[in-house]
Chains A and B, each alone.
Chain A
Amino acid sequence: MQAHVKQRVSYTPEPQNITLRIAREGHVVGEFQALGGPCEVLLDLPGLDDARHFVALAADEARRIEAKFSRYSASGVVHRINNAKGRPVTLDEEAAALLDFAQTCHRLSDGAFDITSGVLRRAWTFDGSDRLPDPAAVTALLPHVGWHRVNWNRPELRLPLGMQIDLGGVGKEYAVDQAARQLSAAGISAALINFGGDVFALGPRANGEPWMVGIDDPRATGQACVRAVPLYRSGLATSGDARRFLQKDGERYGHILNPKTGWPVRGAPRSVSVKADSCVDAGMLATFAMLKGPDAENFLKTEGAEHFIIW
């Protein structure tokens, strides 16, 4: 779900379009589309009217972040950066904070997490087939990949010609945490936010019980869950390649690309789920683990992060 290289999604601003229902367990489920996928807000509130207000608050935040940071949003800042043609772009507070954060993640992952690696998508199409790209085409893209080539001098960013950034690797988790912050400020605590599989529980359910979140089975995605994780107040994110991989001569090529080689990280798990204090933390730890390939589990154990890995 959390993916270093994203599938193409089109951005269409939608009006509210929220559907509400009451689940069997008694909580309200608000559903809407944003950030390129289905989003849910689960609330323990007695009335649907109140619930609609709070789901709308979360939906507004998701759509605000999508409009601002999706690379498909022509009015957004990422689009502006990617189309600056080598000229500097001055960023506002929020965008600057996200770039600072991406820079920190680049450092913490020894360069493996890189928001400029999206350019490699031109060579790679992960459609489950056996069509590997021409190695020369991958090599030709490498000069356009690498955070170290970017001139980031807060609040001014200058991308060399031919380079692009993509905040898809952190955007959804960020939206979850910001929506949670909005709901918290509105006095909500018995709620859970799930934007396309990236989750944050603001607090336990009204009866004091945890929210139970299922982890998708990548071998039967959308149909089966391999585990139920209880959440009281924490984030949960999953990084995996349920549908996005290539397979040739018995070798599996996951969609997590190493920005230094341009090729998929070898021996990476099929799915990594991490529980952490925030959704962003969970998402980044899951991504970092993926980027470690066969060392994913060791990495998460050393970090003391509660995790669940499927190989």
Chain B
Amino acid sequence: MQLTKQAKKGQAKKGQTRQGGAVRSLLSAASAGLLLAVPLAHAEGSSDEPWRVDVGTMRYSEKNRINVSELNFRAKRQLGEEDSLSVRADYDSVSGASPTGAAKIQTTSSASGGAPMASFKAARTAMGVDWDTSLTPETRLTLAADHSSQKTYSSAGLGGSVARDFNQRNTTLVFGASYSVDTIKPANGIHTELMTTNAATIRAASEEKSQVDLQLGITQVLTREALLQLNYVRGNASGYMTNPYKIISEVDPVTGVNANGVARTEKRPDKRGSNVIYAQLNYALESAVLYSSYRYFQDDWGIKAHTVDFKYRKPITERLYIQPNIRLYTQSAADFYRSMLYTTEITPAYASADYRMAKMHTNSVGVKLGYKPLSGGEFTTRVEVMRQDGEQQPDDAVGVQKDAGVFPTLDAVLFHIGYTLAF
């Protein structure tokens, strides 16, 4: 192929202009779709390799807070050209302590330490099954069922989605719906809300929450290099969404002193409507791929959140790749978020001091390495560090509490190793 021979005399002509013509661009769009019509035989489950199994283990550690150890298992079986069945199973154990929401400073004489914590230990098992089938050559149906349980919490869900290809597979539209029911059954029962912890009584042994999500999505092949995905999800939750483990300190409105450590149970609205808009652009460069996404979340509790995420996957050798990633998340506080209540005020209708309802931001950076041995399969290992921080002096902090550093800053490290095999 290496050629240095000079062009012979001949009437050979060469032309070169850069702007693309109409036929060329229409052709390019059609051929991009053509290549995607057939799934990759060796990369994705084909009838030659009907099984695809992923196993992984993850260790997530928050500094001075919770630790999570997790085992994941995924198996997908191609049942023919048209159908596939997947099962998922996860086991995780969580231990450690989580901020209760109580103010850091109880009295002026106590040393200011970390945020008050409630320690806990829990093991959770989750299982799920997906069935994927073709209704017509252009239409795919996916049905999914999930169940997860731990001692005090269980969740069960059903979902379905229909995806239809158009435009010679350059466009895919997805419509999906899911329904889930969660049951919470704390060891100490469900307490009356917004009562001081001494006065609160057990009003129920358990509570339920249900959620319906409707999803509308479009995936569009833009060019040979670029793929755009847009998604909208409308969520409606109703039922018990209060966190029975969280409390709110009641402080003096001037001094900020939390006399006798008085705190109230929290209460959140029993309806939550949310909207999520998600955009993802995958762009193939020479040999690397850049994945970038943006997610906007808004709900009628007053939370607005933005997430941007970049992943860049670059081969180092033919068998090894590296994938650094960065994720930035920021959210505003829920309308009913209160870092503390005042002894003099009329108890509000809803209030929570849970840091997850507060204005905060979370940034993470990580790197993943993947290795594909010649014998098949793929090993991956991933490390991610995360920092979550919020307002240390929110507007509603008063007196001594202003100096306490209200938001429980979090540093966490995640380590994951996994192995994928198709056979």
Find chain A residues with CB under 8 A from B319 CB.
187
**Interface status of B14 (Cβ within 8 A of chain A):** yes
**Interface status of A256 (Cβ within 8 A of chain B):** no
**Interface status of B203 (Cβ within 8 A of chain A):** no
From B43, B168, B374, A101 is in contact (CB under 8 Å) with: B168
A96 B37 Cβ-Cβ under 8 A: yes
**Alpha-carbon separation in the docked complex, A25 to B43 (Å):** 31
Which residues of chain A (277-294) have a CB below 8 Å from chain B?
Answer: 277-278, 280-281, 284-285, 288
**Alpha-carbon separation in the docked complex, A149 to B34 (Å):** 23
**Interface status of B348 (Cβ within 8 A of chain A):** no
Count of CB-CB pairs between chains A and B under 8 Å? 176
Given contacts A185-B43, A203-B286, contact A276 B10 (CB under 8 A): no
A-facing mask of B372-388, CB < 8 A → 1, else 0?
A: 10100000000000000
Find chain A residues with CB under 8 A from B321 CB.
187
From B31, B286, B374, A281 is in contact (CB under 8 Å) with: B31
Which residues of chain B (3-25) have a CB below 8 Å from chain A?
Answer: 3-5, 7-8, 10-24
Find chain A residues with CB under 8 A from B235 CB.
none
**Alpha-carbon separation in the docked complex, A204 to B33 (Å):** 25
**Interface status of A8 (Cβ within 8 A of chain B):** no
Given contacts A97-B33, A278-B224, contact A301 B15 (CB under 8 A): yes
A186 B374 Cβ-Cβ under 8 A: no
Dominant secondary structure of chain A at its interface with chain B: mixed
Q: How far is the CB of B170 from chain A (nearest CB, A)?
A: 11
Find chain B residues with CB under 8 A from A186 CB.
42-43, 318, 372
Interface hit among A11-19, A135-143, A206-214: A206-214
**Interface status of A251 (Cβ within 8 A of chain B):** no
A97 B1 Cβ-Cβ under 8 A: no
**Alpha-carbon separation in the docked complex, A124 to B94 (Å):** 77
Which residues of chain A (124-178) have a CB below 8 Å from chain B?
Answer: 154-155, 174, 177-178
B3 A213 Cβ-Cβ under 8 A: yes
Which residues of chain B (347-383) have a CB below 8 Å from chain A?
Answer: 372, 374
Interface hit among A77-85, A115-123, A218-226, A259-267: A218-226
Number of interface residues of B (CB under 8 A): 50
**Alpha-carbon separation in the docked complex, A146 to B37 (Å):** 25
B-facing mask of A94-127, CB < 8 A → 1, else 0?
A: 1011101100110011000000000000000000
**Alpha-carbon separation in the docked complex, A182 to B42 (Å):** 7
Find chain B residues with CB under 8 A from A213 CB.
1, 3
A100 B38 Cβ-Cβ under 8 A: no
**Alpha-carbon separation in the docked complex, A225 to B4 (Å):** 9
Find chain A residues with CB under 8 A from B168 CB.
97, 100-101, 104
Find chain A residues with CB under 8 A from B2 CB.
23-25, 212, 228
Show 9 A/B contacts (Cβ-Cβ < 8 Å), sorted by A: A92-B137, A194-B1, A212-B2, A228-B5, A281-B28, A284-B27, A285-B27, A303-B24, A304-B24
* B contact set with A: CB distance below 8 Å: 1-5, 7-8, 10-24, 26-28, 30-35, 37-38, 40-43, 81, 137, 168-169, 224, 286-287, 315, 318-319, 321, 372, 374
**What 12 new A-B contacts, CB under 8 Å, besides A188-B318, A226-B7, A303-B20?**
A40-B1, A61-B41, A97-B169, A98-B37, A104-B26, A104-B30, A186-B372, A187-B372, A219-B8, A276-B24, A285-B24, A308-B12
* A contact set with B: CB distance below 8 Å: 23-25, 40, 42, 45, 49-50, 53, 57, 61, 64, 92-94, 96-98, 100-101, 104-105, 108-109, 154-155, 174, 177-178, 181-182, 185-190, 192, 194, 203-204, 211-214, 217, 219, 224-228, 232-233, 276-278, 280-281, 284-285, 288, 297, 299-311
